[in-house]
Amino acid sequence: MRLIPLLLAALLIPAAARADAPRVVADIAPVHSLVAQVMAGVGAPDLVLPANVSPHHAALKPSQARALAEADLVVWIGPGLSPGLARAVKVLSDGAAQLTLLENDATTQLPARKAEDFLLVVDPGHDHDGHGDHDGHGHTHGPIDPHAWLSPDNAARWLDLIAAELSRLDPAHADIYARNAEASRVRLDEVRQIAAARISGLQGTPLMVYHDAFQYFENAFGLTVIGAISDSDDARFGPAHIAALRDRLSDAGVACFLTEPVADTRLIDAVSSGTALPLAVLDPLGAEIPPGPAHYPALLQAMVAALEPCGS
């Protein structure tokens, strides 16, 4: 009689294993947030790159490498954002499914703006030889701007892509993934509408960025950024260059500087000396926001809140 319970237990073990959620890793906190929203109630993804680490120059810890090696699915922006991670994904996650968001046909891609076209004043001492475009951290990337998560429209499409890929790997929970994606799209649309209303007064106002990292966000919320003052953290600027920047700012009627937490503000201080221009610090990765399902909506809200001094 004891044989039947043992046989039943043996049959149930594989069934329970199949019911487990896929092991999923996401590259950056905003993408991790979208995956976590879709997986809610089934499982939780692992985050490879914390939001306080630049994805352009990240070095993996052993725990992060192990997560990649054990993954069933890797959801990431792609090598255009994280060339170092691309090498790790190729080696460690060779057998895993991959959802490369920036390369997906559903993603709206924006061309990377050329330094000679977008810099307010091109530094004659800096090399703009056409071998790539600086992303603001001394790193060069390809022809597509990789900061595509800053478009809420892209994020909404990615929710569906994530749900579809998870359903393919885990059809037992396909209904949950689909419902979660739909609910998340509704919440995201609400957040976007509130955010757009909060900064609607900035539309048409000339703004300036330190580095060119916000193009998708600009397009999503109708902001007018006339150019950047630098494309490299290691650039050196002399008095003549700073004077030329001041002239451009005055001529364009710039109302606000947009910068990132990691940026060196000494150039901004030098250019804005004697002016009352406000400084808005926008964090495209949300380093101060806890990772998890709520991260992406909170990221949009935080970036909008950072812009409020520009409208005062």
pLDDT-above-70 percentage for the chain:
85
Tokens of 62: 């052993």
Which domains does the chain carry?
A: 22-109+148-193 (3.40.50.1980), 115-129+201-311 (3.40.50.1980)
Residue holding tokens 């003549």? Answer: 240
The rounded distance, in Å, linking the Cα atoms of 37 and 181 is 7
Q: 208 in helix, strand or coil? A: strand
217-241 average pLDDT score: 82
* Interval 10-27: pLDDT, tens: 333 333 334 588 999 999
* Interval 61-114: pLDDT, tens: 888 899 999 999 999 999 999 988 998 999 999 899 999 999 999 999 999 998
153-163 average pLDDT score: 98
What pLDDT was estimated at residue 121? Answer: 74
pLDDT band per the 50, 70, 90 thresholds, residue 195: very high
**Cα 201-202-208 angle, rounded to 5 deg:** 170
Q: Which helix (H) or strand (E) holds 242?
A: helix 239-252
Q: 263: Cβ–Cβ under 8 A, 6 or more apart, which residues?
A: 136, 210, 211, 233
* Interval 251-301: pLDDT, tens: 888 889 898 887 777 888 888 777 778 889 999 999 999 999 999 999 999
> Is pTM beyond 0.75 here?
yes
